[in-house]
Each structure stands twice: as C-alpha cells, then as structure tokens.
C-alpha cells in the first residue's frame, strides 16, 4: 500500500511527493487477518529492511537529496500534446476528443456498462470493511 501527499518546497519552487509504503510482509498480513490494525504502525517503522517507508523517514531522505530535476519553462506540459492519429492496425481504437480547458467531465453515479469518459464511482458495499474482511478470510 502506498500513501502519497504533495508538499510544496519553496526553496525549489516545486511540489514534491512524500510517500509512505507498507509492504505485505507476513506480520502485516497476520495483523490484518487478526484485526490488530493498531500494530501496523510499529511494523511500518521497523520495516525499512523490507522496503517500507514512513512519512518521517521519507522526509529525511528528501532533505538529504540534492539532485533535483527542475522544470524548464520551455518544457512541454501534457495538456499541450497533439492528438494522436488513429492506429490503422486497430480500426476500433480512436483517440479521445480534446477536453476544453477549465472543464471537467461529469461523474457517473452508477455503472452502466458503457465508458462515459468520466470518473468511475464505486458505491459503498453494505456491511463495509468487516464484510470484505470476512470474505477474504
């Protein structure tokens, strides 16, 4: 599981991701299975050798970092990319129409089986997390 937040660095004038990484080790799986969620932060803090990162450890690593790629005003932003031509090998594939600047697609409230191009909302499951955990065990 990865959690990420963006933090503005005024010294670099950029936003930098701060991450927290929890790897599915045997103890983590056991704590989840036994519903001992309060023990997970302790495993996260001691799990550096397993590739786990806390926000604090990641912030310390970012503070020591000196080689940053700073964006150049001449760099092209993803919104400025030209539309791709259709792939002649796949006639069903077609490029998405450009979205006008400042607009946002409407959210869909239920699954209709068709792609509307907007965000997908997943309705809450009755029973919540307890029901999901019971199905997994």
Helix then strand then coil, in percent of the chain rounded to 5, is 30, 10, 55
Q: Which residue has the higher pLDDT, 73 or 100?
A: 73
pLDDT of residue 34: 92
This model's pTM is above 0.75: no
Return the number of other C-beta atoms located less than 10 Å from residue 21's C-beta: 17
Residue 71 has pLDDT above 70, yes or no: yes
Tokens of 70: 């700073």
Query: Which pLDDT band holds residue 122 (cuts at 50, 70, 90)?
Result: low
pLDDT tens-place string over residues 79-107: 655 556 666 666 565 555 665 555 555 54
Q: What is the pLDDT of residues 1-59, one digit of tens each?
A: 888 888 888 888 888 888 889 898 898 999 999 999 898 888 888 888 888 888 888 88
User: Could you tell me which residue, 16 or 126, shows the higher pLDDT?
Assistant: 16
Q: Provide the 10 A C-beta neighbour count for residue 46.
A: 12
């Amino acid at each position: 599981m990865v959690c990420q937040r963006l933090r503005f660095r005024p010294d670099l004038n950029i936003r930098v991701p701060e991450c927290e990484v929890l790897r599915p080790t045997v103890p983590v799986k056991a704590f989840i299975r036994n519903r001992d969620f309060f023990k997970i932060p302790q495993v996260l803090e001691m799990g550096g050798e397993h590739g786990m990162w806390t926000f604090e450890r990641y912030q310390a690593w970012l503070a020591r970092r000196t080689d940053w790629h700073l964006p150049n005003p001449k760099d092209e932003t993803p919104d400025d990319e030209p539309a791709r031509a259709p792939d002649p090998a796949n006639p069903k594939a077609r490029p998405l129409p450009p979205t006008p600047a400042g607009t946002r697609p409407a959210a869909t409230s239920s699954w209709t089986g068709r792609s509307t191009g907007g965000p997908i909302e997943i309705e809450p499951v009755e029973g919540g997390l307890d029901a999901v955990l019971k199905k997994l065990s």
